[in-house]
Structure 1
Amino acid sequence: MRIHLSSVFVDDQAKALSFYTDVLGFVKKNDVPLGEDRWLTVASSDDPDGTELLLEPSGHPAVQPFKDALVADGIPATAFLVDDVRAEFDRLRGLGVRFTQEPLEMGPVVTAVLDDTCGNLIQIAQYK
C-alpha cells in the first residue's frame, strides 16, 4: 500500500494552480471540469507519476472554520520535503512568498512554514 493522493482545501482553484505550479514548481497532472469546480491535481516535477496533490475546493461548510482554526494556531495543512530548506526559503521569498516561520532547526529536521495564498499554511522540511 502507498499514498496515491492527498489534498489541500483551496479558496480559488485557478489561483492555487498558479501558485503550486508557477511558484512552488509542481506540474499539473489532472484538470477535469466538474460543474463549477474541477478535479485538479498537481505532482512533483521530479516525480510526475508519483503522489498527487488535489487542489480541492473549500465549498463544504465545515472547511472554512477548520482552515481558519489551523491558520490561527499556526498549524500547516500539509508538508513538502525539500533538499535544502534555507535555499528554498530564499528562492520562494525572492518570488514574494510570505512565510509565517523562517527556517528553524528542530532535532533531525529543518522546517519553514509558508502561506499558500489560498487559505493554508504549508510546511517545507528537510532531514539533516
Structure 2
Amino acid sequence: MPRINVTSVLVDDQAKALAFYTDVLGFVAKTDVPVGDYRWLTVVGANEPDGVELLLEPDVHPAAKAFKQALVADGIPYTSFAVDDVTSVHRELTARGARFTQEPTPAGPVVVAVLDDTCGNLIQLTSPA
C-alpha cells in the first residue's frame, strides 16, 4: 500500500522558509540538494528523523502565487500540523516570533490555531481538545 514519505509546502524563499521551519517551528533540516536555481530542501520533525519529510518547494509555478494568495485572503491554511497542546505551543511559538492569525480555538474534538509561516502560507496547528 502507498504511504506518504514527502509532502510539500510552497514557499516564496527557501532560505527564509528553512530558517522559519527550523528556528521557529522546531523542525530539523533533512535533505538539501542543489537542483538548478533551487534546492530539494526538506525538514522533518525533531523527534522523527526518518518520518515524513516536508519539502520547502519554491512557488515558481505560474499558478502557485495566485493559489497561495487566494487561500490567505480567505483565511484557509495551506496545511496542518499536529501538536500535543495547541495552547502551550501557541505561547512558545509566539515567544519565538511567530505571528498567529487565529488564536487557539476549540473546534469540536480539537483545538486549532493558525499561524503565518512568513513565506506566503497560513499553517494550522491542531491538538486534541
Alignment of 1:67-78 (within 5 A): 67-78=68-79
- Structure 1 residues without counterparts, runs of 5 or longer: none
Q: CA separation in 1, counterparts of 2:128 and 2:47?
A: 18
**1:76 Cα offset (Å):** 0.4
Q: Where does 1:92-111 land on structure 2 (aligned, <5 Å)? A: 92-111=93-112
Cα distance in 1 for partners of 2:77, 2:14 equals 19
Unaligned runs of 5+ in 2: none
Give the deviation of 1:3 after TM superposition: 1.1
Alignment RMSD = 0.6
Write out the 4+ residue segments of structure 1 that deviate beyond 2 Å after TM superposition: none
| Partner SS for 1:89 | helix
| Paired positions, count | 128
Structure 2 residue 73 is the aligned partner of structure 1 residue 79: no
Identity of aligned residues (%): 65
Amino acid at match of 1:114: L
Please say if residues 24 and 97 of structure 2, whose CA atoms lie closer than 8 Å, have aligned partners that are also in contact: no
Partner of 1:31: 32
Report the alpha carbon displacement of residue 127 of structure 1 after superposing the two structures with TM.
1.6
Q: What TM-score comes out, normalization by structure 2 length? A: 0.97
